[in-house]
Amino acid sequence: MKAAGDAALAAIERRLGHDFAERSLLATALTHATAASATRGTYQRLEFLGDRVLGLVVTEMLIAAFPEASEGELSLRLAELVRKETCAEVAAALGLASAIRFGGGKGQRAVLATTNVLGDVCEAVIAAIYLDGGLEAARGFIAAHWQERVKRAALPMRNAKAALQEWAQGRGHGVPTYSIAAKSGPDHEPKFEVEARVDGLGPARGVGRTRRDAEQAAATTLLTREGVWPTRT
């Protein structure tokens, strides 16, 4: 059984492009709280560290890629590149979903293998590489999976809610208001639909995993519809 486990970890190492001197770090990075035991930790502490390592390296990449960008622009780009959804995309591309150790059977795996979990595991793997091989190893892994994202990432425009409020008040429409139009999905991965309203204009809706994200999406929709912001392709 141990040999089979070692073979599985070796296969993951090949996909990650890093040979672990301390393979137990990788095993921990792939262990969910439901599979914890007295001898096996979980990815939670590693995820905390990996989030910081990812932020540092992506910040370095942005500074190099956009030497004329303002702090605000860099902050918006960084937030887009290190969000859970982006990390989950990397984890999915590497086939990490099937490698995560959960307690329970296949039904439990299906329930727990959410975007948040995949994102956390990706960050935990980054931390494992960092602890095993140092910052340069982590930097190499992140560059391999984020460089193209840095290049092709559309510039997140200014804070949409702030921009909408500035525009609306400047034209005498007052302060925009937001209300939840619908909420769906399970508690661990909800989806919000929010409606933005500005006096004298038709309402606009946006969807997001949090109320805040949905409000930003609704504000963006309204700004785009009114021609304040260009349509993004």
Residue 153 CA to residue 130 CA, distance in Å, equals 25
Any catalytic annotation for residue 123?
Answer: yes
Whether 57 contacts 143, CB under 8 Å: yes
Eight-class DSSP state of 231: P
Residue 77 CA to residue 121 CA, distance in Å, equals 22
Q: How many whole angstroms from its chain centre is CA 225?
A: 27
Of the residues 51, 120, 195, 215, only one is catalytic, namely 51
Element (H, E) at 125: helix 115-133
Eight-class DSSP state of 113: -
Residue 166 CA to residue 160 CA, distance in Å, equals 10
Whether 83 contacts 13, CB under 8 Å: no
Coil vs helix vs strand at 39: coil
Coil vs helix vs strand at 209: coil
Of the residues 13, 19, 85, 123, only one is catalytic, namely 123
- Buried b / exposed e along 79-106 (16+ C-beta atoms within 10 A): ebbbebebbbbbbeebebeebbbbeeee
> Which sequence positions are flagged as catalytic?
51, 123
